[in-house]
């Protein structure tokens, strides 16, 4: 941990930690153009998990920002976005994985990706790989053609020092990565920083 309370996630890796009700998690892109996949589980019952489907349904929007709540599969609010200096994140695409790199990139010996990093980090909390849903992909830029629904992965709009802050509505287990997919991060792998602030 740095002097200002920052933790660093090394390129192409991931971590898990607890976040108490009322605490704030700030995810920082220290170099610019780097995605961080975020997962949240109810700490007291990890069958309750972040839900892209419910969140986007209730928001009636696919791009979320300051003020938007992130719902669980049981329609409870897990996190609320309270600050956002970028305004473009993705909540459609599943964490990159060895299969992603095999199928999309044609890698013969693929990296385990965000999925493998999240699975390893969440295992000590008793969360199995099959419980991992679509992540909230901080800073990931996925423009969608409104008429056809076609989308592509574009470079993140985040510049060095940009950040997004979430407030926990209940006690959570958080999974967080520095994304491992070349396309998502404009061709290079960089670290992600995060900071936890106590409940007000």
Binding segment toward Zn ion, per CB under 5 A, in 7-15, 16-24, 46-54, 92-100: 92-100
Residues 103-142 that bind Zn ion (CB under 5 A): 114
**What's the rounded Cα separation, in Å, for the pair 132 and 129?**
6
Number of H helices, E strands in the chain: 3, 10
Hey, what long-range contacts does 145-151 have (CB within 8 A, 24 or more apart)? 151/92
36 touching Zn ion, by CB under 5 A: no
Q: Which is nearer to Zn ion, 68 or 90 (CB)?
A: 90
Q: Give the up-direction half-sphere exposure of residue 91: CA atoms within 13 A in the CB hemisphere.
A: 23
181 lies in the site for Zn ion, by CB under 5 A: yes
Q: Residues near 96 by Cβ (< 8 Å), separated by ≥ 6?
A: 37, 113, 114, 115, 179, 180, 181, 184
Among residues 64 and 192, whose Cβ is nearest to Zn ion?
A: 192
Is residue 192 within the footprint of Zn ion (CB under 5 A)?
no
Identity of the residue, 118 or 170, whose beta carbon is nearer to Zn ion in the bound complex: 118
Q: Residue 96 interacts with Zn ion (CB under 5 A)?
A: yes
Residues forming contacts to Zn ion in the complex (CB under 5 A) are: 96, 114, 179-181
């Amino acid at each position: 941990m740095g002097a200002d309370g920052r933790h660093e996630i090394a390129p192409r890796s991931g971590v898990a930690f607890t976040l108490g009700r009322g605490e704030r998690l700030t995810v920082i892109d220290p170099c610019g153009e780097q995605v961080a996949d975020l997962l949240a589980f109810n700490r007291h019952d990890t069958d309750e998990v972040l839900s892209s489907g419910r969140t986007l349904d209730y928001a009636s929007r696919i791009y979320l920002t300051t003020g938007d709540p992130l719902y669980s599969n049981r329609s409870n609010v897990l996190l609320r976005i309270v600050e956002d200096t970028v305004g473009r994140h993705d909540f459609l695409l599943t964490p990159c994985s060895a299969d992603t790199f095999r199928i999309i990139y044609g890698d013969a010996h693929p990296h385990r990706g965000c999925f493998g990093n999240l699975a390893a980090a969440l295992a000590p909390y008793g969360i199995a790989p099959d419980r991992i849903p679509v992540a909230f992909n901080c800073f990931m830029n996925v423009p969608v053609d409104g008429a056809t629904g076609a989308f592509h992965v574009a470079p993140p709009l985040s510049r060095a020092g940009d950040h997004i802050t979430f407030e926990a509505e209940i006690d959570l287990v958080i999974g967080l990565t520095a994304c491992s997919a070349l396309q998502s991060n404009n061709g290079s792998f960089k670290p992600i920083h995060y900071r936890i602030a106590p409940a007000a």
